[in-house]
Amino acid sequence: MTVEESWEKIERWIAQHAPEEAPLPAPCTRADLELLYESLGGQLPEDVERSLLRHNGSGLTVILPPKYTLLGVEDILRNRATWLKYAAPDDANLEEGDKPFLVPFAALSVIQLLVDIRTGRLGWWDIEQGFAWERDPFWRSFTSALDFVGNLLASPPPWIATLPGDEEWEVTDRHPDFPGALIWTEDLVD
């Protein structure tokens, strides 16, 4: 499935089930991307770029499980500066020469999902635990993660995702604290 097809499924679910969700951001422009690439010294993988050209991040909407929001162009630059400043040079899971090629594209508080702009491979980093490559096929690429979410939301309820480590997370529009919004929760909703 393409990035655009995945987004269509996600957008359809939000329109149908989550009318209280804040609107997804408008697309970034090619000029925005050129400025980003100039700062990065390279280009994002095509799937991440196509997503940004559809929606410049996801705003406050949590798209990827367990609770990651997608970053827009400005947030990518801001989070990358944090990543480059604080990523430990002695991190056993990270070659120092790889660091400049890893770019944040999603965040969950201080945890960042990163994409290797050379290969499209995904990893994650937080300041306390350091860096790790994602090994589960779910995280093989941005396309595979977005495809998973799109297909899940296009299926009949309950929308339950089994994540690496056999964690179960449910997408719901009936969360007691946030009815009518897209919410990922560990506490399955009846």
Residue 89 lies in a domain: yes
Q: What is the CATH number of the domain that holds 45?
A: 3.40.1580.10
In this predicted structure, what is the pLDDT of residue 62? 95
Kindly tell me if the per-residue pLDDT of 68 is higher than 70.
yes
Kindly tell me if the per-residue pLDDT of 154 is higher than 90.
yes
Q: The domain containing residue 143 runs over which residues?
A: 3-160
Amino acid 38 reads E
In this predicted structure, what is the pLDDT of residue 97? 83
Stretch (H or E) spanning 112: strand 111-116
Residue 174 lies in a domain: no
Contact 187, 171 (CB under 8 A): no
Q: State mean pLDDT over 44-56.
A: 98
Residue 186 lies in a domain: no
- From the number of C-beta atoms within 10 Å of its C-beta (0-12, 13-18, 19+), residue 97 rates as exposed
Residue 14 lies in a domain: yes
Residue 34 lies in a domain: yes
pTM of the model: 0.94
Residue 184 lies in a domain: no
Residue 12 lies in a domain: yes
Q: State mean pLDDT over 140-156.
A: 94
Cα 61–chain centre separation: 11
pLDDT band, very low/low/confident/very high, at 173 (cuts 50, 70, 90):
confident
Kindly tell me if the per-residue pLDDT of 48 is higher than 70.
yes
Q: What are phi and psi of 115, to 5 degrees?
A: -120, 135
- As for how many domains the chain has, the answer is 1
Q: State mean pLDDT over 116-120.
A: 95
